[in-house]
Amino acid sequence: MLLVIDANVIFAALIARGGTFRVFVTNKILRKFRFIAPEYLFIEIREHFDEILEKAKLSQEELEVVLNFLEEQIEVIPFEEFEDKYDKAKNISPDPDDAPYFALALKLNCAIWSNDRKLKEQDVVKVYTTQEIIQMFEI
C-alpha cells in the first residue's frame, strides 16, 4: 500500500520513538507499505534538526542514525511530478502547509499517513493515523 508521509510522522518517530517508529521498524521487515514524501520533507526536518535534537534526548550521532533509517524507507518525489495537482490540493487541504502532501496523494491516488486530525476534515483523500497504520499490520 502506497502512503504519503506527513512531516509530523517523522517528527514523532524521531522525538518519541514510540508507535510511529515501531511502524517503520515493522515495515522494514514486513514491507506492507511503500512510503513516499514530497522532496522538501527532509529539508524541513533538517531545518528543525536542533529543535528535534533537544526534544529527542539523543546525541547528534544517534539522531543521525535514526533519521538515516527513516530516510532509507521513504522515496522522495520531486515537486515537478505532482505540481499539476497542487491547485486542487490547496482547495482540499485543511491546512495550506499540507497542500504538497495532498497534491502527491492526488497524483498517485493514495492515502496520507498523518497524526494531524485536522487533515481528516476533508473527504477527498484518505488520511490514516499511526494507530490505524498499526492496526493494518494485523499483528
Cα 72 from chain centroid (whole Å): 13
| Residues forming beta bridges with residue 74, ordered by sequence position | 35
Q: Domain total for the chain?
A: 1
Give the model's pLDDT for residue 138: 74
Question: Is the whole-model pTM more than 0.85?
Answer: yes
User: Dihedral through CA 73, CA 77, CA 78, CA 84, nearest 10?
Assistant: -160
Full domain range(s) for residue 110: 2-136
The strand pairing partners of 37, in sequence order, are 76
Q: Give yes or no for residue 30 having a pLDDT over 90.
A: yes
For 81-133, how does the pLDDT look when each residue is reduced to its tens digit (9 = 90+)?
999 999 999 999 999 999 999 999 999 999 999 999 999 999 999 999 999 99
pLDDT tens digits, one per residue of 47-81: 999 999 999 989 999 999 999 999 999 999 999 99
Q: How far apart are the first and last CA of the chain?
A: 17
Q: Quick one: pLDDT at residue 17? A: 84
pLDDT at residue 139 in the model = 56
Query: What CATH number did the domain enclosing 131 receive?
Result: 3.40.50.1010
Alpha carbon dihedral 100, 104, 107, 109, in 10-degree steps, equals: -130
Average pLDDT over residues 5-31: 94
